[in-house]
Amino acid sequence: MDFDFQFDWSAAIASIPYLLPGIPWTLLISFGGLAFGFFIGIFFGLLRISPIRWLRWVAVGYIEIFRGTPILVQVLFIFYGLPQLLGSPINALVAGIAAIAVNSGAYISEIVRGGVQSIERGQREASLSLGLSRVQAFRYVIWPQAFRRMIPPLGNQGIISIKDTSLFSVIGVGELVRQGQIYIATTFTALEVYFMVALMYLAITWTLSILLRQLERRGIAGQ
Amino acid sequence: MTDTVSPTTPPIVRMQKLNKHFGSLHVLNDIDLEIVPGEVVVVIGASGSGKSTLIRCINGLEEFQSGTLSVDGNTLKPNGKSSKALQTIRTEVGMVFQQFNLFPHLSVIDNITLAPMKVRGWNREDAVNTAKRLLDRVGIADQADKYPSQLSGGQQQRVALARALAMEPRLMLFDEPTSALDPEMIGEVLDAMRELAKEGMTMVIVTHEMGFAREVADRVIFIHKGVIAEQGTPEQIFSAPQNEQTRSFLARVLKH
Ligand SMILES: Nc1ncnc2c1ncn2[C@@H]1O[C@H](COP(=O)(O)OP(=O)(O)OP(=O)(O)O)[C@@H](O)[C@H]1O
Ligand SMILES: [Mg+2]
């Protein structure tokens, strides 16, 4: 047989205008989801280390369920399953954001727990000995330090969630992969288009990495 | 110090039959202890004898299981069931830790002003002025804007002292304040504590610095296996210990 796979740069470049509209959707789903996921993570992360046992169990249950099931199943469940329960359809964008939120929320819970538990016991004891309440000790002493330590793992999670949104082409949100698939259906230039899609993910994740590294450096400088 | 204290002064710390367990470990056994205002009490004893636990009960960092404890008229109940009194006590009692426990994300000045502003409700200007005065007093006025990691151990511990004093405590607890310090920095911290004692602060100090204990203590308490085995003036304890355990402990530590 005679293969003549040739990478056609003009086809790759021609796809750019069709792919670009996917970027805002990818960003909207990932960062929208991560924003909610952050609060979910703080909530369950703190429950996870609460002194009250059944609250810890609630958190463990949440974390185990959403870490233990694939995000693809989660988004299918939300988009196709939940409407049967609710009796009304769910917007694909909302479903995507929700899936990122509940999924990243489970991982962020563990990041929050790890961050808070990594702060030496003496910090809390010194705060309490000065008369700060437990809430004040957490807010002014424990949390600011824990948050700094959480930045690198949060960045990791951000990158993972951005990549996870590529699965949501299955529910038809016009994110990057979906835009690529639609375009390939008419041009059959899969090699070039997926290459460009990959480049666009790299552009997003690298930008995030660089921003985070700067944030980290500033955090360390402040100590 | 004690020469200003009349015999009728009510004690600032009153512990009666206090018992503390860590699980099956009986760490404090029927402790009776009264400390009067202005008194400087030094607590000595072997590692694991319960010295830290004893002073940590006074500001509620450890709960106890039975007995009574009142600090400046606020009564703490066993098993930590008295959060209101606990809060009051902690604003009245300062503590300096072996590991300094400064807040690494805050500058020296912010370390000191945090509690006065958040707990006492002082405005920033008053808190900063007080902090600067205290830093001056412990000899590090020029370090106000640095972060703890930029200071030597001795400087950090003096910041920790200033931070505790900023709450205007009625009683100061010290848990081996010089044990984590390089030898050449021990003096500067002891000097600051000596100053404080001279000004009449009530102090409870756990330390292995026997020379310092002898010099500043009004009373020395020797703890052995969770029991106050012997107490008295530094003269009595260091020159004529009665208890066999005290003698062997002192023989061990003074040899070095
Ligand atoms: N949080 C804890 N859980 C269990 N046991 C503890 C705890 N803290 C202290 N202990 C135990 O209680 C006993 C007394 O400890 P404590 O820290 O009061 O001794 P110490 O006299 O201060 O000793 P050191 O000179 O080493 O500081 C020790 O046997 C110690 O192992
Ligand atoms: Mg100790």
Per residue in A187-200, pLDDT (tens digit) is 999 999 999 999 99
> CA–CA distance from B195 to each of B1, B2, B7, B139 (Å)?
12, 15, 24, 12
| Index of the ligand 1 atom closest to the CA of residue B49 | 21
The Cα–Cα gap between B115 and A130 comes to 6
Does residue B45 sit in helix, strand or coil?
strand
Residue A221 burial (10 A CB sphere; 0-12, 13-18, 19+): exposed
pLDDT of residue B1: 47
> CA–CA distance from B159 to each of A25, B77, B113, B184, B195 (Å)?
51, 32, 11, 17, 15
A117 falls within a domain: yes
Q: Give the dihedral of Cα atoms B52, B53, B54, B60; nearest 10 deg.
A: 110
A148 falls within a domain: yes
DSSP one-letter string for B22-37? ETTEEEEEEEEEEE-T
Structure tokens at A131: 């008369």
Q: Give the dihedral of Cα atoms B215, B216, B219, B222; nearest 10 deg.
A: -70
The Cα–Cα gap between A147 and B36 comes to 43
| Mean local confidence (pLDDT), A77-100 | 95
Binned at pLDDT 50, 70 and 90, residue A4 comes out as low
A203 falls within a domain: no
Q: Give the dihedral of Cα atoms A179, A181, A185, A187; nearest 10 deg.
A: 70
Q: Which residues in chain A touch residue B164, judged by CB atoms under 8 angstroms apart? A: 129-130
Structure tokens at B112: 């000191």
Q: In this structure, which long-range contacts are made by residues B212-220, counting pairs with CB atoms below 8 Å and at least 24 apart in sequence?
A: B213/B42, B213/B44, B213/B238, B214/B238, B216/B40, B216/B42, B217/B40, B217/B41, B217/B42, B218/B1, B218/B2, B218/B39, B218/B40, B218/B41, B219/B39, B219/B40, B219/B41, B219/B42, B220/B41, B220/B42, B220/B43, B220/B44
Q: How far is CA A94 from the centre of its chain?
A: 15
Cβ of A126 within 8 Å of Cβ of B93? The answer is no
A188 falls within a domain: no
Query: Chain A residue with minimal CA distance to B118?
Result: A132
Please check whether residue A51 touches B, CB under 8 A. Answer: no
Nearest-CB residue to A140 (from B90, B118, B173): B118
A209 falls within a domain: no
Q: Please name the residues in contact with B145: beta carbons below 8 A apart, sequence gap of 6 or more.
A: B107, B108, B109
Query: Chain A residue with minimal CA distance to B117?
Result: A132
Nearest-CB residue to B95 (from A129, A132, A145): A129
Task: Match 């989660």 to its residue by tokens.
Answer: A74
CATH number of the domain within which A64 lies: 1.10.3720.10
Output the average pLDDT for chain A: 94
Ligand nearest to the CA of B62: 1
Please check whether residue A130 touches B, CB under 8 A. Answer: yes
A180 falls within a domain: no
The Cα–Cα gap between B219 and B203 comes to 11
Amino acid at A53: R
The Cα–Cα gap between B76 and B58 comes to 9
Q: For residue A58, what are the domain limits? A: 25-173
Mean pLDDT of each 10-residue bin along chain B, 256 residues long: 61 97 95 97 96 97 95 92 89 97 98 98 97 96 96 97 97 97 95 96 97 96 96 95 95 83
> CA–CA distance from B190 to each of B148, B155, B184 (Å)?
20, 12, 11
pLDDT of residue A210: 94
Of all residues in chain A, the percent with pLDDT exceeding 90 is 90
Binned at pLDDT 50, 70 and 90, residue A223 comes out as very low
pLDDT in tens, A36-52: 999 999 999 999 999 99
The Cα–Cα gap between B8 and A36 comes to 62
Of all residues in chain A, the percent with pLDDT exceeding 70 is 96
Please check whether residue A218 touches B, CB under 8 A. Answer: no
pLDDT of residue A3: 58
Does residue B205 sit in helix, strand or coil?
strand
Number of domains in chain A: 1
Structure tokens at B167: 């709450």
Q: Please name the residues in contact with B76: beta carbons below 8 A apart, sequence gap of 6 or more.
A: B60, B64, B69, B70, B82, B85, B86, B89
Structure tokens at B233: 């003036």
| Mean local confidence (pLDDT), A197-214 | 95
pLDDT in tens, A15-32: 999 999 999 999 999 999
- ipTM of the complex as predicted: 0.93
> CA–CA distance from A30 to each of A23, A202, A205 (Å)?
10, 14, 11
Radius of gyration for chain B, computed over Cα atoms and rounded to the nearest angstrom: 18
Assess contact for A128 and B90: CB atoms under 8 A: yes
N- to C-terminal Cα distance for chain A?
65
Residue B42 backbone dihedrals phi, psi, to 5 degrees: -105, 130
The Cα–Cα gap between A184 and A193 comes to 7
Binned at pLDDT 50, 70 and 90, residue A222 comes out as very low
pLDDT of residue B3: 52
| Index of the ligand 1 atom closest to the CA of residue B56 | 18
